[in-house]
Amino acid sequence: MPKGPFASSVGCGRAEPEWASLNLVKETVGIDSIEEKGEKSEAPLDLPTDVKSGNLETAPKKVDLLIVGAGLSGAVIAERASKEQGLTSLVIDVRDHIGGNCYDYVDEHGIRTSKYGAHLFHTKFERVWEYVQQFSRWIPFDHRVKGQVPDKDGVKRLVPIPPTQETVNTLFGETVASEEEMQAWYDAERAANGEEAALSRVGPRLYERIFKHYTKKQWDKYPAELDASVLMRLPCRTTTDDRYFGDQWQALPLHGYTRIFENMLLHDPNITLRLGVDYFKERAAGTLPDYGMLGMPKLEYRSIRFEEVWVPEPEEGYFQEAMVVNYPSADVPYTRIVEYKHVPNQPEAVKNGEVKGTLIAREYSSAEGDPYYPVPNPENRALYERYRALAEAEDHVCFVGRLASYKYFNMDQAILNALEIYDNYKEQGKFAPKRRPEEFGPGDGPK
DSSP letter at 416 equals H
Is 104 among the domain residues? no
**Residue 437, φ and ψ in degrees, nearest 5:** -55, -40
User: What's the pLDDT score for residue 3?
Assistant: 66
Number of domains the chain contains:
1
Residue 276's CB: how many other CB atoms inside 10 A? 15
Distance of CA 124 to the CA centre of its chain: 15
Q: Which residue has the higher pLDDT, 360 or 442?
A: 360
- Separation between Cα atoms, residue 263 and residue 251, nearest integer Å: 18
Long-range contacts of 16-19 (CB under 8 A, 24+ apart): 16/240, 16/242, 18/240, 18/241, 19/142, 19/240, 19/241, 19/242, 19/243
Closest Cα to residue 98, out of 118, 121, 80, 74?
74
Q: Name the packing angle between helices 257-265 and 72-85 (round to 10°).
A: 30
Widest CA span in the chain? 69
Ranked by mean pLDDT, the top range of 4-13, 115-124, 198-207, 228-237 is 115-124
Does residue 368 carry a pLDDT above 50?
yes
Residue-range definition of the domain harbouring residue 184: 145-230
Q: Are 85 and 77 in contact (CB under 8 A)?
A: no
Give mean pLDDT, residues 267-295: 87
Q: Are 443 and 412 in contact (CB under 8 A)?
A: no
Q: Which residue has the higher pLDDT, 57 or 401?
A: 57
Is 178 among the domain residues? yes
Judged by DSSP in three states, 28 sits in coil
Is 13 among the domain residues? no
User: What's the pLDDT score for residue 186?
Assistant: 87
% of the chain exceeding 90 in pLDDT: 68
Does residue 200 carry a pLDDT above 70?
no
Is 175 among the domain residues? yes
Q: Are 372 and 304 in contact (CB under 8 A)?
A: yes
Least confident of 144-153, 159-168, 208-217: 208-217
Question: Average per-residue pLDDT in the chain?
Answer: 89
Residue 293, beta-bridge partner list: 65
pLDDT in tens, 222-265: 877 877 666 666 678 899 999 999 999 999 999 999 999 999 99
User: What's the pLDDT score for residue 195?
Assistant: 37
**Per-residue pLDDT band at 216 (split at 50, 70, 90):** confident
Give mean pLDDT, residues 290-318: 78
Does residue 352 carry a pLDDT above 90?
yes
Is 209 among the domain residues? yes
- Separation between Cα atoms, residue 91 and residue 298, nearest integer Å: 17
Residue 290, beta-bridge partner list: 62
Q: Are 446 and 218 in contact (CB under 8 A)?
A: yes
User: What's the pLDDT score for residue 107?
Assistant: 97
Q: Which residue has the higher pLDDT, 227 or 103?
A: 103
* Contacts of 180 by beta carbon, 8 Å cutoff, 6+ apart: none
- Separation between Cα atoms, residue 42 and residue 89, nearest integer Å: 28
% of the chain exceeding 70 in pLDDT: 92
pLDDT in tens, 172-183: 999 999 999 999
User: What's the pLDDT score for residue 297?
Assistant: 38
Q: Are 245 and 17 in contact (CB under 8 A)?
A: no
Is 126 among the domain residues? no
Closest Cα to residue 415, out of 34, 44, 74?
74
Residue 342's CB: how many other CB atoms inside 10 A? 24
- Separation between Cα atoms, residue 122 and residue 143, nearest integer Å: 9
Give mean pLDDT, residues 94-106: 97
pLDDT in tens, 389-422: 877 777 777 888 877 788 888 999 999 999 999 9
Give mean pLDDT, residues 65-84: 95
DSSP letter at 302 equals B
User: What's the pLDDT score for residue 367?
Assistant: 86
Least confident of 81-90, 385-394, 429-438: 385-394
User: What's the pLDDT score for residue 165?
Assistant: 96
- Separation between Cα atoms, residue 288 and residue 277, nearest integer Å: 10
Q: Are 128 and 2 in contact (CB under 8 A)?
A: no
- Separation between Cα atoms, residue 262 and residue 104, nearest integer Å: 12
- Separation between Cα atoms, residue 101 and residue 306, nearest integer Å: 13
Is 152 among the domain residues? yes
Show the DSSP H helices in 43-196 as ranges: 49-52, 72-85, 126-132, 165-172, 179-190
